[in-house]
Every structure is written in structure tokens, then in C-alpha cells.
């Protein structure tokens, strides 16, 4: 029974480590298939299942082999769930080609830190489905809370914005 307890503990620790430090096995390329079958979560799930199933079987008075088979069944089930979740997460990832700020042109946003012409301010826009704050420059003074539209990308973290409504002779106070 001690072996099953140690196996369950090691598996659970692996699950926690790979949950907290996502992608550790990616650095050493253990999951060479990219399918998630050899991911840290699936390995941790398999070991946890073997340990827990073995503990359950042993506590019911079953022999080592029968307890191990129960643990293997539970471990494969847990690993299967981990692989399915891994594949769902992979599908949700955005391709690197889609990460270009050029996609922001024409996007509306709200100024979070106003500015005068020639200085930088901050604007919050929706980027790939999430709010993102990015630096901007503008040819007109803009105050916090104003609606703007991204007109061009000036650099990796800098865009040019124009007011979404015309401004006539207005200055920041």
C-alpha cells in the first residue's frame, strides 16, 4: 500500500507543478507528438490514478495485481480527460501570425491617460478578444474617457489614434 500512496503523491505533485508552471515539458520537448498524450498533466493524472486506484483496491482487500489494474483503469481515465482538455486548449490558442498589431487599425477604444499632441498617452482597445492598454500618439489633445479610433500602427507598442467624434478647438485642462 505504501507504494500506491507514494505513486499517488508523486502524481498529484506532478499535476500541481504542471498546472502552476504550464509548459515545462515543452522546454524539454517530451511531448513530441503535440497531441497532449505525453504532457505533464497526462503523466501526473496517470500516476495519481494508479496510486488512488491501488489504495482503493488494497483497502478493499484485493491483491496487488487487481489493485494495480483498478489503478491503471482510473489513471487512463484521468489521463484521457487531461489529453482532451489539453487539445481543447491548443485549439483555443491564437496563431502567431494573428498577433500583429496591424489588426488594430479601425478598432475603437477609450483613452485611459489623456495627452497633448507630441506626447504619448494610453488607450484601451479590444485585442484578440481581450482588453489591452497600449501607448498612443495623436495630433489633437485627448482627455481620459474619450472615444478614439486606431488609425495606424507606429511601432511594436505604439499606435496613432484619432477622435471618433470631431474635436473643434478643444484643449485639455
Angle in degrees, 0-180, between the axes of helices 40-59 and 2-20, rounded to the nearest 10: 150
Confidence of residue 59 (pLDDT cuts 50, 70, 90): very high
Indicate the pTM of the whole model.
0.51
> CA 71, CA 116: separation in Å to the nearest integer?
67
> What percent of the chain is modeled with pLDDT above 70?
79
pLDDT per position as a tens digit, 101-144: 777 888 888 998 888 888 888 899 887 777 888 888 888 888 88
Highest mean pLDDT among 15-19, 55-59, 108-112, 130-134 belongs to 55-59
CATH 2.40.50.140 domain span(s) along the chain: 98-163
Q: The cell 497526462 sits on which residue?
A: 42
For residue 173, what pLDDT is reported?
45
pLDDT per position as a tens digit, 42-51: 888 889 999 9
The CATH T-level fold of domain 98-163 is: OB fold (Dihydrolipoamide Acetyltransferase, E2P) (2.40.50)
Backbone angles phi, psi at 145, to 5 degrees: 95, -10
Amino acid at each position: 500500500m505504501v507504494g500506491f500512496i507514494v505513486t499517488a503523491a508523486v502524481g498529484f505533485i506532478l499535476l500541481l507543478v504542471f498546472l502552476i508552471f504550464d509548459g515545462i515539458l515543452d522546454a524539454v520537448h517530451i511531448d513530441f507528438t503535440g497531441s497532449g498524450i505525453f504532457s505533464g498533466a497526462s503523466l501526473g493524472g496517470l500516476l495519481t490514478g494508479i496510486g488512488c486506484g491501488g489504495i482503493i483496491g488494497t483497502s478493499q482487500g484485493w491483491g496487488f495485481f487487481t489493485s494495480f489494474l483498478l489503478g491503471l483503469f482510473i489513471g487512463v481515465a484521468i489521463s484521457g480527460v487531461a489529453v482532451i482538455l489539453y487539445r481543447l486548449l491548443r485549439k483555443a490558442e491564437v496563431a502567431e501570425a494573428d498577433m500583429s498589431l496591424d489588426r488594430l487599425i479601425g478598432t475603437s477604444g477609450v483613452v485611459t491617460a489623456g495627452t497633448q499632441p507630441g506626447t504619448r498617452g494610453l488607450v484601451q482597445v479590444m485585442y484578440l478578444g481581450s482588453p489591452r492598454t497600449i501607448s498612443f500618439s495623436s495630433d489633437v489633445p485627448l482627455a481620459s474617457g474619450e472615444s478614439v479610433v486606431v488609425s495606424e500602427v507606429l511601432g511594436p507598442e505604439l499606435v496613432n489614434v484619432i477622435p471618433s467624434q470631431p474635436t473643434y478647438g478643444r484643449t485639455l485642462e
